[in-house]
Amino acid sequence: MRGSATIVGPEPETVAESALRIEGALDVGCFERCWNELLRRHEALRTLFVVKNVPKPLQVVLKQRQLPFTYRDVSALDEQARRAVLASYRSEDLGQKFDLSRDVLLRVGLLKVEPTVHLMVLSFHHILMDGWCQGILLRELLALYQALSQGRPSPLPALATPFRRYVKWLEQQDRAGSLAYWARYLEGYTQAVHAAREPAAADSGTEPIERHAFELSREKTAALVALAARCG
């Protein structure tokens, strides 16, 4: 049973920053250890931001942090009760704001909704990471889980560039020069360019919204990921 869980894809019923459906047997303890290993591995995930009583805002990297991890088993409830618990969790999670100067800016909720189905709700502050980073973390999470759940060491290579080196590089950049470059680049533009338009009157019909779901094989998924990478 260990190491057989599979992240299937977005879970539409949950509206957190990121929600994924996991199918298969899952070792919850190992899953939590994998997330904390990611915090140990990535300095950026152990940062907080100090803005009070300092000459300028500081990003502080702590030596060690534990991920806020919540686990709830609602698989024994009927569907109506399960939906109520999920809605309550969503409301509770959305209402739990991040304190940039104190909190771990990432938290994970794991809800067991069926004997072999879990929902993982990943909440984070956008000052910590963006959508691209989520893909990296999930790939590393899967690699760690497959190894640790089978008693093997982490297969992840050491990071080539420590986060602190990236921060030092940022501090060395010519801010005035960058601002001057963009001022020259945008010279001549006299109005904002809107990427999206307002819907026309004809677009505001009453046609019902439909939802279609389907599954892709591992081979097709891998082929699509490779195609997306080639196309940038």
pLDDT digits (tens, 9 = 90+) for 166-210: 888 988 999 999 999 999 998 988 887 776 666 655 555 566 778
Give the tens place of pLDDT for each residue, 24-49. Answer: 999 999 999 999 999 999 999 999 99
Give the tens place of pLDDT for each residue, 117-153. Answer: 999 999 888 888 887 888 899 999 999 999 999 999 9
Hey, which bits of the chain come out as E strands? 6-10, 18-23, 47-50, 58-61, 69-73, 106-114, 117-124
How many CB atoms are closer than 10 A to CB 45? 24
In whole angstroms, give the CA distance from residue 104 to residue 226.
33
The dihedral through the CA atoms of 15, 19, 24, 26 has a sign that is negative
Residue with tokens 């990121």: 18
pLDDT surpassing 90 at residue 16: no
How many CB atoms are closer than 10 A to CB 212? 4
At 200 the pLDDT is 57
Q: What percent of the chain has pLDDT over 90?
A: 47
Q: What is the mean pLDDT of the chain?
A: 85
pLDDT surpassing 90 at residue 214: no
pTM assigned to the model: 0.70
The dihedral through the CA atoms of 131, 136, 141, 146 has a sign that is positive
In sequence order, the β-bridge partners of residue 114 are 117
At 207 the pLDDT is 66
- Average of per-residue pLDDT across 51-64: 89
DSSP class of residue 209 equals: P
Give the tens place of pLDDT for each residue, 58-89. Answer: 888 999 999 999 999 999 999 999 989 988 88
